[in-house]
Every structure is written in C-alpha cells, then in structure tokens.
Structure 1
Amino acid sequence: MNYEYFSVKNKTVMVITMAFFLTLCASIFAQNQNPTDSLETIIRGGNYDEANKLNLLKQLSVHHPNPEKKLAYANELLTLAMALDSTLYISAAYLEKGNALFQKGDFSLAIDSYLEYGKTTGFEESNEEIVVIYGTMAMCYEGMGDSKMAIKYYQRAINIPEIEKDTILLATNLENLGYTYLVLKLPDSALIYFNKSGLLFKEINHEIGLAYNLANKGAAWAQLKNFEKAELNIHKSIETLEEYGHHRALCDVLIESSEIYFLNEKFDLASEFANRGLDIAKANNFKPQISAANLQLSKIYEKLETDNQSLDFYKDYIVYRDSIRNPNSIQEIANMRADFEVSLKQTEVDLKQSELDLNEAKVILLNEQKSNQRLLILTMVVILGMTGLYYWNIHKEKRKSDDLLLNILPKKTAEELKENGMVKAKKFESVTIMFTDFQAFTKYSHTLSPEVLVRTVDYYFSKFDEIIEKYSLEKIKTIGDAYMCAGGLNSESPDHHLKIVKAAFEISEFIKESKFSDLGEMAHFDIRIGINTGPVVAGVVGKKKFAYDIWGDSVNVASRMESNSQAGRINVSENTYQLIKNEFHCEYRGEIEVKNKGLMKMYFVESSKVTSVINDTQIKPKSIKKTTIPI
C-alpha cells in the first residue's frame, strides 16, 4: 500500500502549476483582454468586415476561457491564415493551439504546436514570451513523465537574460525546476532551487509565492528525514494558504503534513491532518485530493491495526481514484541479451588450452635427449596448430559472412540463400510499408560539403536503423534521403502494422529532439512519413551484388502517402487506418488527388489511444501538487 500512496502523491502537483502558468501566459500574451461573449456574438452574427475575421479569431483563441472553444477558434484561425498565407496569424494560431492543448492536458500535441510556432517565428517574438513557452513545454514533458526533457526546458527558460526583469517569472521557473528534482528523489538538488526562488519571492514580498515555496521545502526536508524542519515549513505554508483561501493547495499540503507525521510515527496528528484535508476536499469536490486523503487514512488505520476503518477508507479511495484515472500503460522496452554462458564456455576452453600447452612443454623437456621424438612432437604440434588456425579462420570468416548476409536479408531469406544458393520470390498478402523523406533536402545538399552531407544522412539513418531493429522490422533500402522499411515479411509478426506506426512516432520524436541538439556543421531537417498496408512480392535481385527488395502497388501507394504527407506528420492509407484505428487516434484528411492513382482517402495518425486516455485522466491527477504561484 505504501508504493501506491507515493504513486498517487507524486501525481498531485501540476494542476496548481498549470493554473499559475496559464494566468501568467494570459497576462503576457493577452494583457488587454476583452470579454469573449461580445466577440462570439459578432462571429456568429457575421457582423464584421471579412478582412477583420483573422483578428476576431485571434482574439477569441487568445482570450476564451474554455479550452475546447479556445482550441476550435485556434484551428479555424490556422486554416484561414494558411489559406491567406499570413505568417503572422499562422504563428499566433500555433501558439494559442498549444496553450489550449496544454490546458486540456494533451501535452504531446501541445509540444508539437509550440514547435510549429517556433518554426514560423524562430522564437524571436520577445524573450519574455520565450520564457513562458519554454516553461510551459517543460511542464508538458513533466506531465508525460519525461523529467530529463523537463529539466532541459526549465534550464533554457531561466537562462534567458530577459527573465531577470520579471522576478515572478524567474522565481516560478526556479520553483518548478526544484520540484522536478523533488519528484526524482533528489531533495538536495531541489533545495538549491527552492532557496533561490524563496529569496526572490521574499524580495518582492509575494506571500502566496512564499507559501508554496515553504510547502515544497517541507516536502524536501521530509525526504531528507529532517521532520522538524519539514513540519516548521509546512505549518507556515498552511497558515498563508488558509488566509488567502487556496483550498486545493491547502488540501495537498495537509496530506503532505499527514505523511510527515506518519513517517515520524505520530499517528494521531497524521490522522488529524489527513481528515482535515479530506473535509476541505469534499467541501470543494476536489476528487484527486479526496482520493489521496482516503488512501492516506487507510494507511494510517492499517498501521493502527483497525482493519475495518482502513478498508472503508481504501474503498473510498478506489471509488475516487477510478473516477479520475485509468491504469497506466507500460511502454515497450527492448531487452538486451547477455553472452554470459558463451563467456564461461570460452574461459573453460582457454583453461584447457593452457593445460595442453603446459603438458606439451613438459613432454619436450623430458625428451630433450630424444631428438627424433622431440622433433616429431614439435612437428605434430605445428601441424595441429596450423590446422586449428586454419579452421578457426574459416569459422571466423563464415561468421562474418553470415552477419553481413543478415544485415542485407531477412533471416529466413538468408538461410534459404545459404542452403539453396538462390531465393525464390514470395508473395505476402499483408505487409506494412513505411517511407520517410527529409523536407528541403535538395536545398541543404547544395549548401553542405559532400563530407558533411554524408555525415548528416548517416547520423539520422543510423538512429532510424536502431528504431527499426527495436521493433523487429526490415530495412529495405535507402534512396538518397528517402528511407524505406517494412513489417510483415516475417510471419512471426502479425502486429506489424502497429509496430510500424510506433516506429514512425519514435522516428518523428527523434527528428524533433534533434532540432534542439548542437549538430555542428550538420543540418537539421523536418521529415515526412507515409505508411500503407497491402500485398507485395519480395525477392533477391542480382548475382554478385544482390539486394533484397519488395514490389507491388502497395509499395507505390506507401510512397504516395509519404509525398502527400506534411512535415512532422504520419500519413496513412485507408488500408492501414482500418488496421490501426482501434489503437490510434487518426484525423481523416478526406480524399486527396494522387498522381496516377486518382482520389485516395488519407489519415494523419495523431496519437496512441492508450496515451490519449492517460492524457485525459492519468496526467491530470498527476499534476495536483506542484507548489507554484497563481497570480
């Protein structure tokens, strides 16, 4: 039960942070906010000059308090701005779309929108604006459980010189960065940032900021087992939160206090603070806090051996927990295979060989006077050694040949080629093919030296190879900057269509992260991805320099999906969509004219449905306890 408590507790921080950051974003991006009701009335009634429609949509997407409507207006603004080729409004639409998705908890999609905004502006609007965007992106990564990327963006935010002019903004990012280290169970590092943010809040006499800062420090001291300092900080925080009526944060801090008393074996005080937090949470219908308080009380009464009360609270915890979240999905990871037994066997062989060499030396010494026998023995040893070396070299070269063959051909095809000296062409009824292509590659190829160009392509394709191998897919070939792979050529992979899409997401994420990496002289690219599923014919062509390839209309359609995709998007055909629609959210693009194919239905793959469930339920309760400051 203890593990589940901390699992819930660590998900209780970011709602406060989000509320603060959205308030802050509103103050920076929409300082002259107008009521949205009148704007919506104008839009619905059509009482506006058509030339002013872009500005009306922008105002609604900036100011609307409802994230669903905010997102709808941002999308409408984006469509119209693209049609009119208005870079200014395109960038504004991406920014507000990211803010709306952030409010909804769709963190991955929010990051995509912020990155699109960065492409259109180069993050050059104002340094203060960049600070807020980087801080928000950090919270998105934290919401997705990626603390490493969260720390990276918080650091970027606090290192922008302009932030020094806004004490609250700097203090908030320092506080959030400290909390990220707290979640990672690094309280010493967390306290470094909490002390910095605390001094800034004290400097401007920001009482609410200090209250949240004290609560965070209390949690850090609790991790360090210094319960006296933990109690002192948290009690001061409670007084301020009560005074200013910050009830949700007050619930979180009361439950935190209960945990400190519990760890210090002061069970009466632990029960008192947990019940107090539960009462406030029920009065305000704060479901995540109700759930956490019930679990805390269940744990306390279990320790006091009052099992019936413990069970009652645990039942209430389950009811509220299931109303706000679903079980976490476990991301697939690749397992490494160890060569331990082979190493042991090799050691055994080496020892035996050493013993054999020693015995041979003894024989030679004992028969020094028998020159004929010694010569015979030496001759036999040389012959045996040369024979052994000969066969060892043959075995070594055979292994090299086999490894090279497996790099070129699928395993079963390679075995067929070695056994028969040829490979028969085979038809596969269902294979999923993926093409990727770098956008604007030709333009960059003219500006880079041949050496740098080859190094750049190798950098990206090497990572692609790792991802493809992880999902047991087959790399078919590369053509210039195009990369082609397939799944389903191995009969042991019936879910090849799902693996291909997962691999496509990883490739897309790698490309996005590479944009923020220092690649030296190498170029940064955007990528288009296209996928189709259908029958193909596979075989080996050539005699001296043979190559494995696949043919068929399905391959051509996959290529068309790529050429009709967009930067950073995964475009799939109707065939693939029907196979993945139960596992992934897809956006229907309509029927699009395709060269030599006519009209074809296409879909953008947006996200995994499992991931989406987590975004809508899991991540929100996870973000309930981060002590940042609402303005």
Structure 2
Amino acid sequence: MSRVWYYFFISFLFLFQKGITACAQDQAMADSLVKVYESGEYEDEFSLLYEIAISQAKPEDVLYYADILIEKASSRDTVEIYLVNGYLQKGNGYKLQGKYSEALEAYFHAVELAQRFKLEERVGVLFISIGDTFTANKKFENAEKYYEQGIQAIRDSNDSLHLASALLNDGERYFYKKEFSKAMLRLEEAKPIFSKLNHERGLAYALGNLGMVYSELQKNELAKENLNNAIEILNTKEDNYANSVYYLYLAKIDLKENDFEHALNNAQKSLNLAENYSLMKETADASQMLFELHNQVGDRDSALFYHLKYIAARDSVRNLQVVEEIAEKAKDFEVNQKQMQIDLANQKNRNQKIMIFTTAIALIFIGILAAVLYRNNSFIRKTNQIIENERSKSDHLLKNILPEETVNELKEFGRVNAKRFDAVSVMFTDFKNFTSNAEHLAPEDLVKSLDYYFSYFDQIVDKYKLEKIKTLGDSYMCASGLPFPQEDHAERIVLAAMEMFRFVEKAKQIEDEKRIHFDMRIGISSGPVVAGIVGSKKFAYDIWGDTVNCASRMEYYSGIGKINITEYTHELIKDKFLFSDRGEIYVKNKGKMKMYFVEGIVDSEQSEVELSSRESD
C-alpha cells in the first residue's frame, strides 16, 4: 500500500482524554452514556456530553454531540474548558470525514479560545491535532512546525499519556516521507510509556504501527507478529478503526508470500470493518486490494465487483476544497451570465425607444438625451466618489486592526499566511484590582476609563513603532520587531513600558469621579513568535509561541509599578538600562526562570537621541 492513511484515524484517538482510564471511540460505552443523557439523570451535563463525543465511533455522531456541547457551553461563563473541548471534538469529527479545511478551522478556533481563557495545557494538545491534520493532507512543512511546538509543550507539562500520543502521531510524518527509521524511534519511545500507564489501546496502536513499519522494511515475520498482537488487543476493546488497516497490511504480507487464501480473508475483514463504520478511504483501499487478489486468481466477476466498489469509494473522498472551488466558480459564472442577459435585454429596450423617439422627434430627443447623459455622468461621478470615500474608510479601519503589510497581503491574495519572526519582544500590562473596582462603577464609566488609558497606550505604541496585538479585559498586549524586523526591539518596548507607567502615575493626579485610578504591572519577554490572522469573517491579527507565554508569565510575576523581564531580554538591553536581579523564581509549567526588574535608564538623554536617530534612518 503506497499511502499510509492509518494515521488519519489514530491521530486523535488518545489526545483528548481526561485520564488513563478514559476510553476513546468505545461504541459500547458511547451507547451507554447516550442512554444516561437521554434519561436526564446526571449531575454534570458538560462532562457527560464530552465523554459521549470522545467515545463515538462514527464521525457524524462525534459532530452531533460536539455541536451540542458547544451550544451548551457557549451559554455559560464557567465552563470554558468544555467550549474548547467541544471545538476540539468538532475538528476530530471533520478530520474523520476527510474534511481537513473544516477540521483546521475548528482546531484554530479552539486554540484561540484556549489562549483567551489561559488554558495553556490544552494548547499543546491542539497543536498536535493541527499537525495531524496537516499531515493527513500531506502538508508536511506545516505539520512539522505544529508537532514540534505541541510535543515540547506536552513534555513541559509532564503529561505522559498525551506525550505518548503525540509521539505516536508524529511518526506519521516520517512514515509518509518513508523515513521509517525515524518513525520507528518515535514508536519505540511511545510504546513503553503506554505500557507503564497500562493503556492497552495505546500499546496496541504502537505495536500495530511498528508492524506497518516492519512491513515497509520487508521484515514480514516481525510485521505479522506486531500486527496480530495489536489486532488481538483491539478486538477485546471493540476498536475496529485500526483493525481495518491492520488486516489490510496482513493481506499485503500474505500476498507477498503467495498465500492467497489468507490474503483474501484478511482483505475481506478489512473491507467489512471499513464499510460498517462508513470509512471511505479504508473502503477504497480494501476494495482495491480485493480487486487485485481476485484478478490474480482469475475470478473476473468478483474482480470487476470490487473494482467498481473501489471507484465509488475513491470518488467520494475527492478533495472537497477543489469541489467547492469549482462549485463557486460555476455559481459565479451563472450569475454573470444572467446579469449579461439582463443587461442585453435592457439595452435592447433602450435601443428600441431611442429609435422610436429619434424617428418622431429627433431634435427634441437630442436635447433630452444630452440632459440625461449629463445627469447620468454626474450621478456616476458622485457615486464613484462615494465609493472611493467608503473604500478609503474601510482601508483605514482595516489598517487600524491589522498591520499594513498584512492588509496588503490580504487584499492581494485574499488570505494571509502565518509567518515566523525570530527576534520579537512581547509586552503584557495588567491593572491591579480591576475586577473589584469595576463592581462599583457603571459599565459606561468602566469602558470610558479603559478607553482613556488604552487610547494613550496606542499613542505610545505608535511613537516607538510597536505593533498593538489586542486587549483582553484590562490587559493590553503589544509587540516590537514585527511585521518588520527591528534590531532594537527590546529597547523600544522597554522605553514604551516606562512611558506607560509615567502616564498611569500622571493620571492619578487628575481628579475625576467617573474614572478609575489604577496601579499597573508589566511583563516583557523576547524571542521567536509565529504571527498571522485568525478567523475568516472578523479578522484578528495575533501571535503565538513560547515567547508570548513567557511574557504573560512575566506580567503575572511582576510587581506593582514594575517592569519584569526575562533573562534573554536582559541580555539584549543590559547596557542600556538599570536593573535589580530578582534571581530564579518558580513558574508554573516552566520551572525556575531568572527574572529582572527594570529600574531606570543608564543614560536617558543619550538613549532618546539614539532612538530618534534610528527612527529618522
């Protein structure tokens, strides 16, 4: 078999469980949980819906219960984790159906929610799911980027089950690229982790995948041993997705050994399982195998039957994106044709009227025609001016939301590719006691207060050539070094942070009953990030990466009136500013990190002159 599509299924079987005892795609469990849900006798509806979604075997059932979970969780503010998991399972359902574009849309929305709700332990899992989807669609470069970030995030969280699952899935990329030795290293690392956790399904998949690797390496005996062991375990679990693939690999080995009887038997088992669970890709491959086997033994009627079944299954899994694009082009063509027909009919009517009026009263018509043309021309000029004004407003608004380079790319290509920036500094601000102060202020006054501070922060960001990313409640996020590189990105963002503090202190001296006076803290981190647009309707420019997470941590562990920076940021600006060394501080999910408070500028006058000179250059 030239295409190893097995990972298309297993890429999400283990990643979304809450514990070792969780059971992915256990239909018997799913049926039991559905009965509980339908009875209404349960305590935690969200947890129950999530368990039902991850236990379903059929893609349409996964999507059905994922949508219910999303709808229920969207109406509650305290169940953010289930809203994220709902979109995660929705992506899984689409991925099972081969709808990769829809799957990625659901996964990226889940990432956005997880970052918004600060559920960082889910981001690593989601990155692995995105990598799986890119791999299934053979976008290996994109997949590699998300696998690396996801595996590192999961290693940092010490989550053994998710780590084993991620290693299992990362082997897919090597398998597709026929780098079997690297694929085997991933599987060999995953296998003892599953065994130690007593996770029989995980162990079965590791064994089965090793069997597939051995098959590709022509080590048939080892391949059959591992595949049969995997099938035996999964049969006890009634987990037939992988067995559909494993039986087909056994049939492939039997065919190599000229054992047609066992080859036919194993290929038929594979097809039965694939058809029972509506797995189109598996149905196509098993049908193609049976066609070849029956053709070799001279059974032409059966060969023709399975060849037709293969054609039908293959056609059903054509790239949906291509089909949609063709349909959209056809739709546009039909609309244009109809518009042309209407225009031609209108033109014909106008020509007939012109001929009648010309024959009857030629001189009068010339005058009327001249007047009409003048008015039409004037109307067109005014209309074009209005359109141009509105276009200018739209462009201005879009450039306030997105970087100018991103706006130009979006207008030219209709989409924006994510980009990596290796030298960026990221800042987070936070107001102390914002929630308690907000309870005693009218909503209009609260928004007015935030607008007062954030509007001035926007001016500071423009002054130092930074890029505003977004605001989250009372938090203001910006970055330097993108979308255009800046060698002094760290120095610029620290100077901006100091000016923000000066403004906040100055605001305290202005008496206003309807404005809150805040104390503020700031965190800054430097390093690489990935930047791009999230969403297809309401565009949002955002950045991701460990640098962003570290900046958020720096803000959390900062002090009132303090700028807290990482060790790497300190190295970049240590000759420009004064610092107090805070030593190493334990940070959740990161371990001990060395931090510094920025206390002042070494030579404030010289620093301002240098910055002004660089800006003029």
Normalising by structure 1, report the TM-score.
0.46
Normalising by structure 2, report the TM-score.
0.47
Q: Which one has more relative contact order, counting CA pairs under 8 Å at least 6 apart?
A: 1
